[in-house]
Structure 1
Amino acid sequence: MIDFILPLFGRLHPILVHLPIGFLVFGVILIFWFEKKYAVYSPVIQFAFLLGAISALLASISGFLQYQNEGYAWDTVKFHLILGIFTTILSFGLWYHLKKAVSTPTQLKIKGASLIMIITITGHLGGNITHGDDYFTEVLPPEIQALLGGEVSTTEPLELPADNWEEVEFYSGAIQPILDQNCKSCHNPNKLKGELDLSSFAGIQKGGEDGHILESGNPEESALFSRLVLPKDDDDHMPPKDKRQPRKEEIELIKAWIESGSSENAKLGESAIKVSLVEPFFKRNEIPFYPVVDVAKLPQDSISKLRDQGFFAEIVKKDSPLLKVSCINFPGFSDSDWYMLQSAKNQIVYLDLTGTAITDAILEQIATLPNLTVLKLNQTAIEGSGLEKLVENKNLKLLYINDTEVTLDQLSALDAHPTLEKVFAFDSPVADTGSPSQFSFYLETGNLSLPPLPTDTIVY
Structure 2
Amino acid sequence: MIDFILPLFGRFHPILVHMPIGFLVFGVILIFWAGKKYSVYSPIIQLAFLLGGISALLASISGFLQYQNEGYSWDTVKFHLILGIFTTLLSFGLWYHLKRAAATPTKLKIKGASFMMILTLTGHLGGSITHGDDYFTEVLPPELQAFLGGETSYAEPLELPADNWEEVEFYTGAIQPILDQNCKSCHNPKKLKGELDLSTFKGIQKGGEDGEILEGQNPEKSALFARLILPEDDDDHMPPKDKRQPRKEEIELIKAWIESGSSEKAKLGESSINVSMVEPFFKKNEKPFYPVVEVAKLPLDSISILRDQGFFAEVVKKDSPLLKISCVNFPAFSDSDWQLLQSAKDQIVYLDLTGTAITDSILEQIATLPHLTVLKLNQTSIEGVGMEKLVGNKNLKLLYINDTKVTFDKLGSLDGHPTLEKVFAFDSPAADSGRSSQFSFHLETGNLSLPPLATDTIVY
TM (normalized to structure 2)? 0.89
Q: Deviations over 1:296-321 (max 9, x none)?
A: 33334443343343333332223322
1:312-342 residue CA offsets vs partner (Å, 9 max, x unmatched): 3332223322222222233333333333333
Alpha-carbon separation, structure 2, partners of 1:301 and 1:235? 53
**Amino acid in the other structure paired with 2:366:** I
Aligned to 1:54: 54
The AA in structure 2 aligned to 1:183 is C
Distance 1:6 1:327, change over 3 A: same
Q: What is the rounded CA distance, in whole Å, between the counterparts of 2:36 and 2:407 in structure 1? A: 99
Secondary structure (helix, strand or coil) at the match of 1:351 reads strand
Indicate the larger mover: 316-325 or 285-294.
316-325
Does 2:281 align with 1:281? yes
Alpha carbons 2:153, 2:185 under 8 Å: kept: no
> What is the distance in 2 between the residues matched to 1:191 and 1:373?
50
Structure 1 residue identity aligned to 2:267: K
1:350-383 superposed Cα distances (whole Å, 9 cap, x missing partner): 2222222333232222222222211112222222
Gaps of 5+ in 2: none
Identify the residue that residue 75 of structure 1 maps to in structure 2. Answer: 75
Query: Is the 2:165–2:269 Cα contact (8 Å) retained in structure 1?
Result: yes
Q: Secondary structure at the match of 1:438?
A: coil
Instruction: Determine helix, strand or coil for the equivalent of 2:63.
Output: helix
SS of the residue corresponding to residue 375 of structure 2 reads: strand
Letter in structure 2 aligned against 1:440: S
Question: Conserved in 2, the CA contact under 8 Å of 1:435 and 1:443?
Answer: no
Structure-2 change in CA distance of 1:299 and 1:80 (3 Å): closer
* Counterpart AA for 1:374: V
Q: Please say which of residues 437-446 and 138-147 is displaced more in the overlay.
A: 138-147
SS of residue matched to 1:324? strand
Cα 1:36/1:278, change in 2 over 3 Å: same
| Cα drift, residue 294 of structure 1 | 2.3
Task: Give 2:250's aligned amino acid.
Answer: E
Q: What's 2:231 paired with?
A: 231
Alignment of 1:283-432 (within 5 A): 283-432=283-432
- 1:237-280: CA deviations, max 9, x gaps? 22223333211111111112222222223333443432222221
- 1:170-213 deviation line (CA, Å, top 9, x unaligned): 32332222222222232222332222122222211111111110
Q: 1:303 & 1:109 partners in 2: Cα distance?
A: 54
Secondary structure of the residue aligned to 2:286 is: coil
Query: What letter corresponds to residue 78 of structure 1 in structure 2?
Result: K
1:408 CA drift (Å): 1.9
With over 3 angstroms needed to count, the CA separation of the structure-2 counterparts of 1:438 and 1:96, relative to structure 1, is same
Structure 1: distance between partners of 2:44 and 2:307: 69
Tell me the percent identity. Answer: 85
The CA distance in 2 between the partners of 1:114 and 1:345, in whole Å, is: 60
Q: In the aligned structure 1, how far is the partner of 2:192 from the partner of 2:434? A: 71
- In the superposition, relative to structure 1, how do residues 340 and 24 fare at CA in structure 2: closer, same or farther (>3 Å)? closer
- The CA deviation at 1:42 is 4.7
Q: Determine whether 1:255 maps to 2:246.
A: no
Matched residue, 1:127:
127
Q: What is the alpha-carbon distance in structure 2 between the residues aligned to residue 298 and residue 38 of structure 1?
A: 58
- What is the CA distance between 1:215 and its match in structure 2? 2.6
Task: Give the match for residue 95 of structure 1.
Answer: 95
Instruction: Give the stretch that moved more between structures: 259-268 or 217-226.
Output: 259-268
Question: Is the Cα–Cα contact under 8 Å of residues 436 and 442 in structure 1 kept in the other structure?
Answer: no
Query: Following TM superposition, by how much is the alpha carbon of 1:453 offset from its aligned partner in structure 2, in angstroms?
Result: 5.2
CA distance in 1, matches of 2:223, 2:3: 26
CA gap of 1:131–1:235, structure 2 versus 1, over 3 A, is closer
- The separation in 2 between residues aligned to 1:34 and 1:389, in whole angstroms, is 79
Q: Give the superposition deviation at 1:37.
A: 6.3
Cα deviations by residue, 1:108-136 (Å, 9 ceiling, x for unpaired): 77765554333222111101101111122
Task: Output the amino acid matched with 2:447.
Answer: N
> What CA distance in whole angstroms lies between the structure 1 residues aligned with 2:105 and 2:328?
82
Aligned equivalents of 1:384, 1:295: Cα separation in 2:
31
The residue type equivalent to 2:395 in the other structure is: N
What letter matches 2:348 in structure 1?
I
Alignment of 1:158-177 (within 5 A): 158-177=158-177
Query: Which range moves more in the overlay, 123-132 or 294-303?
Result: 294-303
1:271: which partner in 2?
A: 271
Change (3 A) 1:114 1:426: closer
C-alpha distance in 2, partners of 1:296/1:101? Answer: 66
Which residue does 2:189 correspond to in 1? 189
Question: In the aligned structure 2, how far is the partner of 1:112 from the partner of 1:10?
Answer: 29
CA-to-aligned-CA distance 1:275-299 (integer Å, 9 cap, x gap): 2222212232221111122223333
The question of whether the paired residues in 2 share the 8 Å contact of 1:73 and 1:192 is answered with: no
Q: 1:210 to 1:430 in 2, by over 3 A?
A: same
Q: Could you tell which deviates more after superposition, 181-190 or 299-308?
A: 299-308
Where 1:394 maps in the other structure, the secondary structure is coil
Structure 2: distance between partners of 1:75 and 1:96 = 33
Give the match's secondary structure for 1:313.
Answer: strand
* Structure 2 counterpart of 1:136: 136
Per the alignment, in what secondary structure is the counterpart of residue 443 of structure 1? strand
> What is the alpha-carbon distance in structure 2 between the residues aligned to residue 32 and residue 400 of structure 1?
72
How many Å apart are 1:58 and its aligned residue?
0.9
> How much has 1:227 moved relative to structure 2?
1.1
Contact 1:35 1:104 in 2 (8 A): no
Specify the code of the residue in structure 1 equivalent to 2:347: Q
Contact 2:155 2:177 in 1 (8 A): no
Distance 1:458 1:213 in 2: 68
**What CA distance in whole angstroms lies between the structure 1 residues aligned with 2:447 and 2:421?**
19
- Range with greater deviation from structure 2 (285-294 or 394-403): 285-294
Offset of residue 32 of structure 1: 6.0
Runs of at least 5 residues in structure 1 that lack an aligned partner in the other structure? none
